[in-house]
Each structure stands twice: as structure tokens, then as C-alpha cells.
Amino acid sequence: MMRRALPVIGLVLTLAACTSGAQQPQQDAAPAKLDLKTTTPAAAKGLGKVTWNLPYEPQTLDPIRSFNYAENTALANMCESLLRLTPDFKIKPGLAVKAANPTPTTWVYTIRKGVTFWNADPLTADDVAASLRRHLDPKLGTWWGDYFNTVKSVRATGSMQVTVTLKQPDALFNQAMATGAGAVVQKKFLDQAGKSLGSPSSGVMCTGPFEFHDWKSGDSMTLTRNDHYWDKALRAKSESLVLRFIADETTAVNALRSGEVDGQYFYLPPAGLGQLQKSTTGSVTLGRSLTFWALLGSAKSGPYADPRVRQALSLALDRAAISKVVFQGTASPQRALTGSDYWGYERKTYQKAYEALPPETTDLAKAKELLVQAGSPTKPIVIGVQGSSAVHEQTANLLKATGEALGLDIEIRVVPVEQYGNLYSDPKARKGIDAFLSTWYGNVPDPLDIYTVFRKGGRTNFSDYKAVDGAIAKARAEGDPAARASLVTGIQEKVTRDVVWMPLNNLPVILYMNKRVTGAVPSFPYLYYPWAAGLGAR
Amino acid sequence: MTTYLLRKLIALAVVLVVASFLVYGLLYLVPGGPMAFLLGNRSGTPEQIAAIRAQYRLDDPFLVRYAAWLGDAVRGDFGSSLVYRQHVSGLMAARAATTTFLVGYSTVLIVVVGVAGGVLAGLRRGRVDAVISAVSSAFLATPTFVIGVLLVIVFALGLGWFPVFGPGEGLFGRLYHLTLPAITLSLGSAAFLARITRASVREELGREHVETARSRGIAEALVIRRHVLRNASIPVITVTGLTVASLIAGSVVVENVFALDGLGSLFVRAILQRDFAVVQAVVLVLVAAFVLINLVVDLCYKALDPRMSR
């Protein structure tokens, strides 16, 4: 075995071409200076077959119900959206060449000419309108509802023009068209497939650089190169991409080490991360990411409903230790939910606001003082964590130890993994739980995408936080970036000082590729961007 | 014989109905529903939730839902998976093949290794017996998943002789891919069968009619074959039948270790996601397999021991 010093990426990526305009990630006082990437070295040539692993088998390929890692990782290579979220977090034209905003409540999309579906039929406005309209039918059960709440109607207003009318102005709607929310499937195919759209037997009919070839339920999914892809710069280098579904982490790491699988994205560091980093047959790349690790407050009464108690816990918590112990050195501490990768506009404004926030370092004396001010509560604070998850359990241990140092009684309640999802959607499941741990991500480079959670009556506003409701509505309706940034930094200030959700660490994308391959996108947009188009031999 | 078979088949039908009712009821009582899987974790307006609940009959009373399911099942329609929105039959077809292959392969290994080892240990006293007994004790004491992990580390990652995961394709591909999983699944049972066989052979060797046959000067090989092995095989067959039935349960663990797309892994996931239709269908298939294997064991019995058929 060869031992390679951490971080591996510095050595491997000496060839990496810096993408023009990629911003330097803002580093705060992180314990380990992480060099997070947006590209990997370009492939010299294509391969016949590349095998990739997904963290679990997708439930469906229907874009409206694809809002999770495995589903989006697969779809991103097949179905394209109106706009495109690039690996360096920019929003560029996609299937629409232009997005115009003639009035605050109308978006007019000019559809790109000369684009064809895999079956050679041309893309028209009808396909786009039909795809977007599916989000408006409650029976179909879209998972992207947060971006379609403001939509009144979607109409094809020309053979190559689609007009979306909103009930009120919405700064996020158009940005969401760069994610899976704006994915376009052929109308004819939608009508034929009906309910079975996106199932192993039907698949999808889209325009992307890889075509759906087949999906053997329980075994694998095969995508093949689309030789007629409209964007020559993103034509797939390799002929086919086989996606496997090894859910067991140990088995997945073994398959990567043995070379049976060429690569995988991890959204949390696997227990075998060290083995992968030391592997002589491949390397790990850490990518810039919109994902973070946080303690979501859900208490409406009791000690944890007091912001001073939350501030105390936050101040006493050693985020550098979380990074080291829980995330094996891969996750930088964060002082706000939205770090620098969210600043897609008005970066200076956001940076100044971020620097003015309380630091992510510990201050136990101040924390104790705050607790005294809050009346030194004795009632225990119940924190929900997911069972059979090392990341959850280890963070819980650190929280408990922090509580002990602070004089705060913290009780950990382990919720089985299969019921953990109910905490997000079912108030009954949250009964008696003051806060719970979660990963979370926004979809677009705009901090407002995260802070929208704290709308009054929002389904994930677990603690019924009301202080920023008006400001969120204003910010969502604000078309001018500078004005919006000043509103959003105001919201960020309030939410962060009140520790509604406690920001812990930023979670970079962890990409493993074996030595045979290179060229995958290592940053968060891999969920919506054809990350495998550049994948090929070194 | 025909009435016997008929009786058994009627019993099977009754067992299936009872099992399906119990499983459906238990799944219904367990807290948590499939809603989180139907909605994702972050969106869903009240109207949307209501629409989905109505669509999947999630608000109907238990008996109504069970009766509807049973009515469809009797007509051969096992419904669709809530989570995957595919027909259950389609979901199960590919996976059933993998599990059947795995259990079949393991059965062959168990019978060959177990019976050979047991007969050898039974007939040869001394060192051979001691070695076989020690090895079988070790295999019996080691949990399945530990064996699986060790085999992967040594033969897949270390030596690179076998693949780490997956069921493989085509007959040879499958044999090659399923070798480590089948060994993992069979070692413990093979050790158990070896011990039973050894004890059974020893017992027969000490019997009077064997002594008598030997004293008459009948060739040793013939004595062993006709008097010892034939009689010793009755308990061996019983144990083999039970073991194969238990492999169906053991395959769940092995399928997870080797990332095989079997019924076991499908079953576990479906339970966690409260995917009623899938859980029900898998249970019926497993229960039916269990009962049928026992029926085959009974028939073998009859063939070997005429006294049984009376």
C-alpha cells in the first residue's frame, strides 16, 4: 500500500485547468484549509463503458418526483432544463436561449432552435409547457412545489416561446429553472407513459447528452451517448454509463477499491473514506457545495424556544471538532447556513454581512453568561438523531458533551432511519423533540433559497419562526439584485443571531474516481448538470 | 397419495391467507407511513397530501384496504409498489431469479460439503474426525456477515479472484458472481449438516443389523452403502429440508453484504418504506416456498422409509 499525504487532491490535480471566472472559495478560520474544486482534469479520450455507483436505487426518473441524490445524479445526464447551473455555480442558458422578464409577474422563455429529443423529434414550446405544467397538478405530487407556489399559469405563446405567469413576483422561480424543477420531457412521451413515466419499464424521453437505454430493476441502469446532442462542447466522451445501486457503504467502498466500479459521489463521508483517500487505485476530490450540516430547531416552547439558550449552545459548540471527528477533516465550520458558494450575486454585500456575524469559534465564558441570562434552565433539551448513522451519532455525542460543559441537560433521542423522514413532514413525529440533526441543501446560488424556509406557515419552518416572514416576501418579490441582497442579508442576520437553525459545517461533495477515469464534475451542480459528459480515460 | 397432496395444498392456501392477513395487519399497526417516501422531505401542500392519500387509499379503514388487496391478489393482481410505481410482479421477477439461484447454489454446496464431511468423520475415527469436527465448530460459531466480510477481504479485494458485488449475467457470470455469496450462506449450515450426518452414521454403525451383516462376511462397502448410509440418510434429509427453508431468511443478510438484487434486500427495503403491496407479495412467495420445500422433504421421507407412508 502506498501512503499518500492528505489532502490527496492537491497532488492529483496539478493538471487541473482553472475554469475562467471560478471564484476563489472564501476561507474562514477553518481547521484544515480545504481546497474545494469545481473541475477535475480533462479526459484524454472516451471509454466504451464507465461504471458508476449511486448511493441507492432511484425511486423514479420522473423529474417532478426527483429531488434527491440518486435520482438527480442519474437524471442530470439525461434531462435538461430551461437554464443550466454550471459547475462553478453560474446560471447560464440551457434549453431556453433567453429568459425575459417583461413585467414583474411574467417570465418569457425563448426556446432554443435545432434541439432534438433522442428519438429525433424537434423540441418545441409545447414540450416545455407540458413539462412545467405537471408541477401544477396536485394529483401528480411534485416534490418541487416550493418553486411553483407562485405560478399561476404556463402557456406556449408561440411555437418556440413559453410564458409563465406568476401570482406575485418571485426571484427564485427563474433560478429554479436551472435545476431539476425546469427539466423538459417530450410531451408526446408524457402522454403515452402516463403514470409509468420514469419507471424502469418506460424511462424518459429527453434531450441530454446521455440517452436512457435500460433500467434493470434492482441491478443497474444503462445510459448511452446521444450522438446528436445539440451542445458540441458537452457531447459525451464515453459511449455508455452504467449506474449501479450499491446501497451498503462498505460494499460500495470495496467495489471502488477493487475497480469494479469507476466512481461515486458521497454526500456524507463514508466510514471507509480513509481507505479511499489512501487508495493506490484512485483518488478523492472534494468539491464546492451548497450542502450543509445543521441542527434544525423545532421547539415551540420550553428552554430551546429561548434564543439565548440556542445562542449559548451554538457558542459553546466546537465546530472544528465536528469537522475533525465526525467528517474526517472534510467539512469546514460555518457561521451561517449559507456560505460563500451561495453568493451568486452581490458577493461583496454577502461577504461583508457574513464577516459581521458571530464567529464559528467557541466562547464558553460568553455562552455560560447567556445561559444565566436565560434563567439557567433545568428542563432537558431533546435532540433527535437518526439511528444507524455514524455522522448523527458522533455529532450527538459532541452535543451532549457540550451541554455538560455548559450546564445544559441535553437528551438524545434516536429515531430509526426509516422514520426519520417523518420528522420533516409530520408534526406528530416531531412531538417532544426540540431540535434534530439534518443535512440540507439549497438548489440555486441565492441565500434566499435557504431562508425561504422561515416563511410563516412554511412546512419546514418547524418552530413557527415568524420574525422574517415579511422580509422574505419582500425579498422574493425584489427583482433588483442589490436591493434583494440587502434584504436577504437582513434576514440572514436575524435568523443567524436567533439560531433558528444552528449552522454547523459545510459539506463538500466527495467524489471518488479510480485511476482509469477522469473528467467528472466534482461540485454540487452535478445534481443538475451533465456531470458525466466529460468522463473518460486519463 | 392424491388426497394427501390435496390436503397439503389446501393447508398451504390457508397458511398463505393467514400470513397475508397478519403481515398486512402488523404493517398497518407500525407507526410511520409511506408518506415521507411519496412526498419527499420538503414539499407538499395540504391539497397535494390529501390528493396522494386518496390516490393510495391511505385513509381507508384497515379491513377495507385488506379486502381490496385480497380481492386483487386472488385474481393474480398483486398491485403496484407505492414507492416505485411499478407492478410488483415486475419488481419481483428479476430479483426472484437471483435469490433462487443463490439458495440453489448454496443448497448444492451444503449437501455436498456437509454430507461428505459428515460421512468421512463418521466412518474414519481419529485425526480426520477431529479436524472435521473442529472446522465445523468454527464455521457454526461464526456469524454469516462476518464470514461474508472476511471472504470479500481475502478473495475479492486481496487476491482479486472474485468480484466484490452484483449478481452477474448469464450462467457462468452468475456462478462466478454468486460463488462467494453462496459460500457465505452455506458454511454454517454445511457445518451443521456435517455434524448431524456424522452422528447419524455413528449411530447406524453401532446397530445390531450392521454387526450381523459384518459377521456374515458381507463386503464392507456393501454394508456401509446398504445398511449404514441408507438409514442414516433419513435424519439428514429432514435437516437438509429445514436448512434450505432457513436459507431463505439467511439470504437477506448475504444479499445486503454483496449488494445482490434479491428478494431479501427488496423485502427489507419495502418494510422500511411501508410499501404494502411489495411486502405482501414477497411474504407470500417466501411462505409458499417454505411450505413447498417441506412438502418435498415429506415426499422424500416416504420414498426412503416405507413405514412413513402408512
pLDDT at residue number A145: 87
Q: B125-148, pLDDT tens digit by residue?
A: 788 788 888 888 888 888 887 888
pLDDT at residue number A243: 97
Q: What is the mean pLDDT of residues A489-506?
A: 97
Inform me whether the C-beta atom of residue A218 falls under 8 Å from chain B C-beta atoms: yes
CB contact (8 A) between residue B32 and residue A460: no
DSSP chain B: -HHHHHHHHHHHHHHHHHHHHHHHHHHHHSS--THHHHHTTT---HHHHHHHHHHTTTTS-HHHHHHHHHHHHHTT---B-TTT-SBHHHHHHHHHHHHHHHHHHHHHHHHHHHHHHHHHHHHS-SHHHHHHHHHHHHHHHS-HHHHHHHHIIIIIIIS--S-SS---SHHHHHHHHHHHHHHHHHHHHHHHHHHHHHHHHHHHHTSHHHHHHHHTT--HHHHIIIIIIHHHHHHHHHHHHHHHHHHHHHHHHHHHHTT---HHHHHHHHHHTT-HHHHHHHHHHHHHHHHHHHHHHHHHHHHH-GGGG-
Contact at 8 Å (CB) between A435 and A406?
no
**Residues of B numbered 117-156 whose beta carbons fall under 8 angstroms of chain A's beta carbons: which are they?**
149, 152, 156
Q: What is the mean pLDDT of residues A454-463?
A: 90
CB contact (8 A) between residue B257 and residue A248: yes
Highest mean pLDDT among A139-143, A163-167, A426-430, B157-161: A163-167
Q: B217-275, pLDDT tens digit by residue?
A: 777 777 777 767 777 777 788 888 878 777 877 888 888 778 788 888 888 878 877 78
**Residues of A numbered 446-485 whose beta carbons fall under 8 angstroms of chain B's beta carbons: which are they?**
459-460
User: Of residues B160 and B278, which shows the higher confidence score?
Assistant: B278
User: Of residues A466 and B13, which shows the higher confidence score?
Assistant: A466
Nearest to B157 among A138, A200, A254 (CB): A254
Contact at 8 Å (CB) between B32 and B274?
yes
Query: For residue A55, what are the contacts with CB-CB under 8 A and spacing of at least 6?
Result: A69, A70, A247, A252, A264, A265, A266, A267
Query: For residue B212, what are the contacts with CB-CB under 8 A and spacing of at least 6?
Result: none
| Cα of B85 to nearest chain A Cα, Å | 7
Q: What is the mean pLDDT of residues B87-102?
A: 85
Inform me whether the C-beta atom of residue A227 falls under 8 Å from chain B C-beta atoms: no
Q: Where is average pLDDT lowest: A52-61, A65-74, B72-81?
A: B72-81
User: At residue B132, what are phi and psi to the nearest 5 degrees?
Assistant: -60, -40
CB contact (8 A) between residue B42 and residue A139: no
Nearest to A419 among B31, B149, B266 (CB): B31
pLDDT at residue number A299: 95
Residues present in chain B in total: 310
Provide the whole-model pTM. 0.84
CA dihedral angle for residue A72, residue A77, residue A81, residue A86, rounded to 10 degrees: 90
Contact at 8 Å (CB) between B42 and A424?
yes
Residue B91, CA atoms < 13 Å, CB-side half-sphere: 29
pLDDT at residue A150 greater than cutoff 60: yes
The SS3 assignment for A381 reads: strand
| pLDDT band, very low/low/confident/very high, at A18 (cuts 50, 70, 90) | very low
pLDDT at residue A24 greater than cutoff 50: no
| pLDDT band, very low/low/confident/very high, at B307 (cuts 50, 70, 90) | low
Question: Is cis: bond before A7, omega within 30 of 0?
Answer: yes
Highest mean pLDDT among A95-99, A198-202, B187-191: A95-99
| Cα of B62 to nearest chain A Cα, Å | 21
pLDDT at residue number B31: 63
Inform me whether the C-beta atom of residue A429 falls under 8 Å from chain B C-beta atoms: yes
pLDDT at residue number B21: 86
Q: What is the mean pLDDT of chain A?
A: 91
pLDDT at residue number A379: 94
Q: What is the mean pLDDT of residues A336-349?
A: 96
Query: For residue A443, what are the contacts with CB-CB under 8 A and spacing of at least 6?
Result: A176, A179, A180, A181, A290, A449, A527, A528
pLDDT at residue number B76: 76
pLDDT at residue number B80: 81
Other C-beta atoms closer than 10 Å to the C-beta of B300 total 17
Alpha-helical runs (H) found in A177-248: 187-193
pLDDT at residue A122 greater than cutoff 80: yes
Nearest to B164 by CA among A273, A244, A238, A59: A244
Q: Where is average pLDDT lowest: A237-246, A326-335, B94-103?
A: B94-103
The SS3 assignment for A289 reads: coil
